[in-house]
Structure 1
Amino acid sequence: MSASPSIDPHQPYFFFDFNSPFSYLLLEQHDKWPNMPFEVLPIDYLKLLKHWGQPIPGNIPSKRVFLYRYALFRSEQLGIPFKMPPSHPFDSSKALRLAVAAGGEIGCIREIFRFIWKEGRDPSSEQGFDDLCRHVGLPDGAKMIESEDVKATLRANVERAIELGVFGVPTFVVNEQLFWGEDTLPMVLYVARSPNWLEGKEVQRISNLPRTVSEM
């Protein structure tokens, strides 16, 4: 990898991949997010898994079934329309580059998510991607995503995520602290209101627990 981009410790981030139904559900709750200028960054989460040596969740059959059921359950709990795409995981690279090409505009990102997870469409096929480009008002999207700048930006997003320690999606980063998963939004809101909580004695103790077993 090339040198990672510089990290602003005061910049809050939100990292996502369009393969993640939980990223979709969290973005649909954007009106509940803390009032912070989050930089919303698309990343290829498979590259994160490879970097950290983690297995792909869908490769464990029982975990795959649980995750799909839990995503549906959460969508019903939250009242958010939800329809699985025809296959999963899918190749999200073109959709990710489209988000970058659109300047990371949150309205465009939300519509890409809705195309996939509200309408249940496949963004990876040639026809599906053409339909997606029309859906978000970028008919030249197929050309836009071939820009070397777009590809370099997506790679830089992954490098930034790794430098921050991000290991999955969706992940909020606030003051260089990680909050992973759709169901951590209440924790993000709590820490935004009570930032000193992270400096508390018990939080610090459990954050630095020794390991008695190096490998399982």
Structure 2
Amino acid sequence: MVAAVKVEFHFDFGSPNAYLAELALPEIEKRTGVKFNYVPVLLGGVYKATGNMSPADSLRGIKNKPEYNALETTRFLRRHNITKFTPNPFFPVNTLSLMRGVVAAEFEGLFESYFRAAYHHMWVEPKKMDDPQVFREAFLSSGLDIDRIIARAQQDDVKKKLIENTTRAVERGSFGSPTFFVGDEIYFGKDSLRDVEEEILAQLASARRKTA
């Protein structure tokens, strides 16, 4: 992987668009040779800090916009050959436990398995993941030592890390999820992925010229 360009994917499991965008990242990584750094943020904290709101709230009562949003999602699914996506009937879900959990899992060397399980139980076989019992049983069914992660998630360093990630994201210009950074360039939304890839390639070319 090329290390000259730093690329970040800021995510919260509560965002369906972040889930969908993440499914397209491996192909971008293959084409560019640059690996995304996954940065967990608390979307509720981002919203509070910026005065933003969930699409579940912002689209409510607006004529035509929810329908267009659904059309846009259908087009994205088709473009990226995504077949595993089910809208969560409990949306919006409070993701505080999920996001503390992923930070704890990262500290414990279990990031990948936790990350995949969390997205599976949010957007493939969706569940009410802010219910503690549902949360625990879901991760157990995925083979994780979730009691270890739950205990770790209560530690101050985990809570501090999530707050720091969220605060730093807002300071850099974030207002929602998914947000991407290519170096210091910010991009928002799953439909910005083409621009993200173009910027990665542009920064790679610039880096190569400087070292030539």
Question: Normalising to structure 1: TM-score of the pair?
Answer: 0.77
Shift in Å, 1:10: 5.7
- State the partner residue of 1:95: 98
Kindly state the Cα deviation for residue 69 of structure 1 after the two structures are TM-superposed.
5.9
Whole-angstrom CA distance in 1 between matches of 2:156 and 2:184: 29
C-alpha change, 1:121 and 1:71, in structure 2 (3 Å) is farther
Q: TM-score, normalised by structure 2?
A: 0.78
CA distance in 2, matches of 1:56, 1:85: 14
Does the aligned pair in 2 maintain the 1:72–1:82 contact within 8 Å? no
- Give the counterpart of 1:39 among 26, 37, 52: 37
- How far has the Cα of 1:107 moved from its partner? 4.3
In structure 1, the residue matched to 2:187 is 179
1:88 and 1:68, CA in 2 relative to 1: closer, same or farther beyond 3 A?
farther
Which residue identity lines up with residue 194 of structure 2 in the other structure? P
Greater Cα shift, 125-134 or 153-162: 125-134
Q: Unaligned regions of 5+ residues in structure 1, if any?
A: 1-8, 199-216
* 1:164-191 residue CA offsets vs partner (Å, 9 max, x unmatched): 1111110110111111111111111111
Query: For structure 2, which runs of at least 5 residues remain unmatched after alignment?
Result: 207-212
Q: How has the CA–CA distance of structure 1 residues 95 and 53 changed in structure 2, closer, same or farther, with 3 Å as cutoff?
A: same
Q: Per the alignment, do residues 51 and 130 of structure 1 end up closer, same or farther by CA in structure 2, a change over 3 Å counting? A: same
Partner residue, 2:123: 117
How much does 1:142 deviate?
Answer: 2.5
Larger helix proportion of the pair: 2
User: In structure 1, what is the Cα distance between the partners aligned to 2:166 and 2:54?
Assistant: 17
The answer to whether the Cα contact below 8 Å between 2:12 and 2:42 also exists between their aligned partners in 1 is yes
Task: Tell me the distance in 2 between the aligned counterparts of 1:68 and 1:117.
Answer: 15
SS of structure 2 residue aligned to 1:151: helix
Alignment of 1:136-215 (within 5 A): 137-140=144-147, 141-195=149-203
The Cα of 1:31 is off from its aligned counterpart by 1.5
Tell me how far 1:72 sits from its aligned partner: 5.1
Structure 2 distance, partners of 1:100, 1:15, is 13
Please tell me the residue identity of whatever aligns with 2:116: R
Cα distance between partner residues in 2 of 1:139 and 1:89: 23
| 1:127 equivalenced with 2:133 (yes/no) | yes
Map of 1:17 onto structure 2: 12
Kept after mapping to 1: 8 A contact 2:5/2:204: no
Q: Once the two structures are aligned, what percentage of the paired residues are identical?
A: 24
SS at match of 1:14: strand
Q: 1:41-100 deviations in whole A, cap 9, x for unaligned?
A: 111112212222224332231468444564455335533311122311111111111111
Aligned-pair Cα RMSD in Å: 2.6
**Is the 1:191–1:197 Cα contact (8 Å) retained in structure 2?**
no
Seen in structure 2, the aligned counterparts of structure 1 residues 22 and 56 have a Cα distance that, compared at 3 Å, is closer
